[in-house]
DNA sequence: CGCGAAGCGGGCACCGTGCCCGTTTCGCGC
DNA sequence: GCGCGAAACGGGCACGGTGCCCGCTTCGCG
């Protein structure tokens, strides 16, 4: 939850957010964080439950969020844009300045960190086919595609290289297979090097 | 539905399937195939809908299948075990006798074929966290793990290499990115060679 | 300090689920 | 063939969640 202020959504002019509205927004997000954490994902999470824990009416939720997935997404936004900033303007190897395979490995490490810390939220944000709808997926995908280009590897692999970051995959590796985050990251590190490193200019 | 006979589930002794039960089983499966195909996945598919199309009561469905996912799974079973048979006792490169990277590529090609032909069913079988529950996932995963061992690559990559075969990933590549099945297979071919081929015994 | 507007939440109708139980149908044994 | 026990069937019901409507409350600008 990291004390984030109300933040009336920067962009075009906006009437201004009323104090009670801001208070409820905070309540809802805090409640959602708690509910998703307890459920360990999206399984038993309903709009009703979140409203009950937040102490607000259901309609108050529906005013801002159409479903539980978009609440989880709102909670993830700040963490995701942190990584996005690191890619665009942070220091290497996540940011520009390192060879492609190191940048990919750094990207994987950052995402494994996000999954480890907020797995329940990422799972909660995946209801339906939501993943490919969020703007951030397209941005990350594009980042990987550029790295593939730079390494002279087929850009068709972009989604393939994104696939291991699906939250259900991470969850399975951690909870069923018993892998540590370090083992997962190490595997992805190996993958990065093998796919992107030392490419003989492909044909 | 490819004239498959009643098949009273081989195994231990079983009372024998009544004629009306067999007839209804066939009706249900035919209806489910149709409904999943029309919905293009699991989205609007309910037990009620399948029962209606099959012309049976809802309770008749619940007798055999707890939810829509397990109906889709039943429809997939024969196709999946075909591939499984090819891995265990078919000719190379899918079966034994080829180098690991060729076997992995052949496995990918077989799965891409399955996804291309029955995507709506694989999507339908994924409701909830069902994928990792089906026996066949564990078998395929183990197959990949053995190939990794043989190539002296880290076995932690097993789930990572399985991840691109998730139906939502395939769907996204086909329908949003506009890739052809051949392009997807070619990408996975590249991946197979890079990860498994010519490993210098690691360390 | 009053008033227009935005925010709020109880309530309701709908849909799908999951199960129970009375009725129908099968097919074995005579 | 024919009756009877057992299995299968399906209509119906209660429950829980959704999504929306509408009267009430609260805010904050002038």
Q: Is pLDDT at B156 greater than 60 in this prediction?
A: yes
pLDDT tens track for A10-51: 444 556 777 788 888 999 999 999 999 999 988 889 999 999
| pLDDT for A1 | 38
Q: How confident is the model at residue A7 (pLDDT cuts 50, 70, 90)?
A: very low
The pLDDT value given to residue A203: 40
- Which bases of chain D are contacted by protein, using any atom under 7 A from a CB? 7-12, 16-22, 26-29
CA of A15 to C1' of C4 (A): 15
| Mean pLDDT to the nearest integer, B137-145 | 96
Q: Which residue is nearest to nucleotide C27 (CA to C1')?
A: B18
Between chains, do A157 and B186 touch, taking CB under 8 Å as contact? no
Among A164, A171, A180, most B C-beta atoms within 10 A, so best to mutate, is: A164
Measured CA to C1', what is the nucleotide nearest A28? Answer: C8
- 8 Å CB contact of B156 and A131: no
Task: Find all residues with CB under 8 Å of A59, minimum gap 6, and list them.
Answer: none
Helices (H), chain B: 19-39, 47-54, 58-64, 68-89, 100-124, 135-150, 158-162, 167-171, 181-196
**Where on strand C do bases come within 7 A of a protein Cβ?**
6-11, 15-21, 25-28
Average pLDDT, chain B: 88
Instruction: For residues A47 and A57, give the distance between their C-alpha atoms in angstroms, rounded to a whole number.
Output: 10
Q: Does A177 touch chain B (CB under 8 A)?
A: yes
Least confident of A66-80, B34-48, B66-80, B189-203: B189-203
CB contact under 8 A, B157 and A191: yes
pLDDT score recorded for residue B13:
53
Q: Does A149 touch chain B (CB under 8 A)?
A: no
Please give the pLDDT value at position B21: 85
Of B166, B187, B194, the CB nearest to A194: B194
A78 touches chain B (CB under 8 A): no
CA–CA separation, B64 vs B66, rounded Å?
A: 7
Q: Touching check for A157 and chain B: CB below 8 Å?
A: yes
Question: Considering only CB atoms, which chain A residues are within 8 Å of B179?
Answer: 156
Report CB contact under 8 Å: B186, A156. yes
Answer whether A164 touches B (CB < 8 Å): yes
**A173–chain B Cβ distance below 8 A for any pair:** yes
pLDDT in tens, B58-110: 999 999 999 999 999 999 998 999 999 999 999 999 999 999 999 999 999 99
Q: State whether residue A96 is helix, strand or coil.
A: strand
Average pLDDT of the residues in B137-157: 97
Instruction: HSE, CB side, 13 Å, CA atoms: give it for residue B120.
Output: 13
**How many Å does it take to go from CA B73 to C1' D16?**
27
pTM for the whole structure: 0.89
Q: Which two structure tokens, joined as six digits, stand for A121?
A: 């939220």
Dist. CA B108–CA B125, nearest whole Å: 19
- CA–CA gap between residue B146 and residue A187 (Å, rounded): 16
């Amino acid at each position: 939850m990291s004390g984030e202020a109300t933040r009336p959504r920067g962009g075009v002019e906006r009437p201004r957010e009323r104090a009670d509205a801001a208070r409820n927004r905070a309540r809802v997000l805090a409640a959602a964080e708690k509910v998703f954490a307890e459920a360990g994902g999206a399984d038993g999470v309903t709009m009703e439950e979140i409203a009950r824990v937040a102490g607000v009416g259901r309609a108050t939720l529906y005013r801002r969020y159409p479903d539980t997935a978009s609440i989880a997404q709102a909670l993830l936004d700040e963490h995701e844009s942190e990584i996005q900033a690191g890619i665009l303007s942070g220091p290497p190897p996540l940011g520009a300045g390192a060879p492609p395979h190191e940048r990919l490995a750094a990207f994987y490490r950052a995402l494994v960190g996000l999954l480890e810390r907020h797995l329940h939220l990422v799972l909660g944000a995946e209801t339906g086919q939501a993943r490919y709808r969020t703007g951030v997926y397209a941005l990350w995908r594009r980042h990987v595609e550029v790295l593939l280009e730079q390494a002279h590897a087929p850009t068709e692999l972009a989604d393939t290289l994104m696939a291991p970051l699906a939250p259900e995959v991470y969850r399975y590796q951690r909870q069923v297979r018993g892998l540590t985050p370090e083992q997962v990251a190490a595997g992805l590190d190996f993958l990065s090097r093998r796919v992107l490193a030392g490419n003989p200019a492909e044909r």
